[in-house]
Amino acid sequence: MTKPLIAANWKMNMTTGESVTFAKRLAEEFARLEDRDVIIAPPFTALYPVAEILRNSGIHLAAQNFHWEKGGAYTGEISAPMLCDIGCRYVLVGHSERRILFGERNEEVNKKAATALAAGLKPIVCIGETLGERESGRTFDILARQIKEGLNNISPDDIESVTLAYEPVWAIGTGKTATTEQAEEVHRFIREEIGGIFGKAKAGETAIIYGGSVKPDNIAGLMDQPDINGALVGGASLDFESFAKIIKY
């Protein structure tokens, strides 16, 4: 089984100064944790100074997005080799805010996942249903499609470097967490789908993390579930004390 993985997604928040202060505290309190992986995804502007602070701390750095081309005339974009160059180890792919606000489809998610892997970055591929999709009984169909199309042509050797983040869109930033039973039911389904594509052994080694209003008071219940391997934390990761409690759940 994979180590518990606790990831912070700061979204479009935190100045460079705030990010540096946070990262220094994190490195002081949680350097070289043996029993879990901690990842932070600051905004692009803070990646480089935060990378310098986290170097050798055992805490990993993630970017929130990137473009699948290696370089060239793509004004405003950042490539996977650029992220590797400054010490990023992970990258979020297909977050629901990217899908809904910026039109990313499974096709782009797939290009990004494949490009990240080829560049040596570990993609955290986000999937999840909207409230309307859940209420109309389409949760599992939507997820199956996001998995099949998002991970199209990824080799079984690479799947262990992929983390799946199940983030029900209706639970993101709303304070409504999926119940532990709802989350576990979906995580079990995701693992079965991964098993169907990549084989059962690989599915057992794939980290499937939960995101959507994770807080210090609900993390332990979620982490108790057999198919939940970690958490992707938005709002509660912006406050050091609350993120520290989540790490220490």
Q: Which residues are catalytic?
A: 95, 167
Q: CB of 190: closest distance to ligand PGA in angstroms?
A: 16
CB-based contact 202:182 (threshold 8 Å): no
CB-based contact 19:8 (threshold 8 Å): no
Within 8 A by CB and 6+ apart from 96, the residues are: 126, 128, 167, 169, 172
Report how far residue 53's alpha carbon sits from residue 241's, in angstroms, rounded to the nearest whole number.
19
Q: Compute the residue count for the chain.
A: 249
**Would you state the structure tokens that stand for residue 31, as one six-digit string?**
């350097």
Q: CB of 102: closest distance to ligand PGA in angstroms?
A: 14
The single residue among 106, 115, 213, 229 that binds ligand PGA, judged by CB under 6 A, is 213
Q: CB of 240: closest distance to ligand PGA in angstroms?
A: 15
> Closer CB to ligand PGA, residue 43 or residue 235?
235
Of 106-114, 144-152, 165-173, 221-229: span binding ligand PGA (CB under 6 A)? 165-173
The single residue among 23, 59, 147, 214 that binds ligand PGA, judged by CB under 6 A, is 214
Task: Determine, following the binding rule CB under 6 A, whether residue 43 of this chain makes contact with ligand PGA.
Answer: no
Task: Give residue 53's identity as a one-letter amino acid code.
Answer: I
The single residue among 94, 128, 212, 230 that binds ligand PGA, judged by CB under 6 A, is 212
Within 8 A by CB and 6+ apart from 200, the residues are: none
Q: CB of 41: closest distance to ligand PGA in angstroms?
A: 9
Of 37, 48, 29, 31, the C-alpha closest to 8 is 37
Tokens 């901690």 label which residue?
A: 38
Q: CB of 38: closest distance to ligand PGA in angstroms?
A: 15
**Would you state the structure tokens that stand for residue 187, as one six-digit string?**
């995580």
Task: Determine, following the binding rule CB under 6 A, whether residue 173 of this chain makes contact with ligand PGA.
Answer: yes
Task: Determine, following the binding rule CB under 6 A, whether residue 233 of this chain makes contact with ligand PGA.
Answer: yes
> Closer CB to ligand PGA, residue 12 or residue 201?
12
Task: Determine, following the binding rule CB under 6 A, whether residue 4 of this chain makes contact with ligand PGA.
Answer: no
Site mask for ligand PGA (CB under 6 A), range 182-211, x = bound: -----------------------------x
Report how far residue 214's alpha carbon sits from residue 231's, in angstroms, rounded to the nearest whole number.
7
Report how far residue 40's alpha carbon sits from residue 29's, in angstroms, rounded to the nearest whole number.
14
Of 22-30, 180-188, 190-198, 226-234: span binding ligand PGA (CB under 6 A)? 226-234
Task: Give residue 232's identity as a one-letter amino acid code.
Answer: L
Whole-Å CA distances, 59 to 47, 81, 100, 174, 241: 13, 20, 30, 28, 17
The single residue among 110, 234, 243, 247 that binds ligand PGA, judged by CB under 6 A, is 234
User: Contact residues for ligand PGA (CB under 6 A)?
Assistant: 9, 167, 172-173, 211-214, 232-236
